[in-house]
Structures are given as C-alpha cells and as structure tokens.
Amino acid sequence: MTSIPVQKQPINLAATLSDLIVHAAVLSDTPAKWTATLNLLKHHGIDPQGFEDFEAGRAAAITASGVQALQEADAEEEDICGLCGQPGADKFAHPAHWPGERKPDGPMVHSECEQEECGRAHAALSPQERDAFLFPGRR
C-alpha cells in the first residue's frame, strides 16, 4: 500500500495570532474575561501592551482587526433579547459565531441565552471541526 504524503500549508503565525486576538476580544465582553484573555496572551509570550484597559484596549483590538463596529440599538428594541425574544437583554450580541450557532434576531441578548447557545453549538462540533473553524487553512 502506497501512502500519499500530506502537504501542509505554512501557517502565517502573525495572521493566526491576529485572528485569535480579535476572536478573544469579541468574546471577552466583561472586564474579568478581558483580564483573563490578556493573562493567557502573556502566558503564551504575546505582549498585549497598549490593550490593557477593558474599554479602550478591547475596542482597539477589535478596530485593528477590521471587524465592523456594533450599531446602537433603537430605544424601543434596546432590551429585547435577540435569542429568546424576552425583555431584559443585558449585552450586545457578539459578532463571532461557531458553525451551527443560532444568530440573534436583534443586537441585544441576555448573557445567559448567548452563553447557552454558544455552548450548545460548541458542543455539537467535533474537535476537528472546531480546529478547522479556529485555524482556517491548517490541516
């Protein structure tokens, strides 16, 4: 039996890190999550200098990535959850979604609804599917 050699695409480390940082920035929607993200970056040898502040640093990371800024919601829609349709939404929905994750109908969501849907979609993916989503082009 003859085996076919696997050709691997070279990884553009700078682009991969940039993608991971913006993904982390979008998902780090509280000061505690942002601090944990920065600590993880530092642990892996990435200096997040200039991005330490939750509001300014997170916004700068998202802007630097080219991800489109979130729009302000209309006043009457402001607190309706785009996932469950109930009032009391407490945050903007994150713009990054796992494959198969239900996207909200509006800009606001309950943190709990978003976490549940994100977790459901994440659990439905195999480790290989997750890696393919997080590291496109890597085989």
**Helix, strand or coil for residue 21?**
helix
Q: How many CA atoms lie within 13 A of 28 on its CB side?
A: 28
Query: What is the per-residue pLDDT for 75?
Result: 44
Question: DSSP letters along 67-101, please?
Answer: PPPPPPPPGGGTTB-TTT--B---EEPPS---TTP
Query: What is the per-residue pLDDT for 40?
Result: 77
pTM: 0.47
Q: How many CA atoms lie within 13 A of 40 on its CB side?
A: 12
List the pLDDT tens digit at each of the 139 positions of the chain.
555 555 555 566 666 666 666 667 777 777 888 888 778 778 877 777 777 787 787 777 777 666 654 444 444 446 899 999 999 998 888 888 899 999 999 889 999 999 999 999 999 999 888 888 888 877 6
Which tokens is 75 given? 């006043």
Which tokens is 60 given? 């700068």
Q: Where are the domains of the chain?
A: 12-69, 73-139
Residue labelled with tokens 């990884």: 11
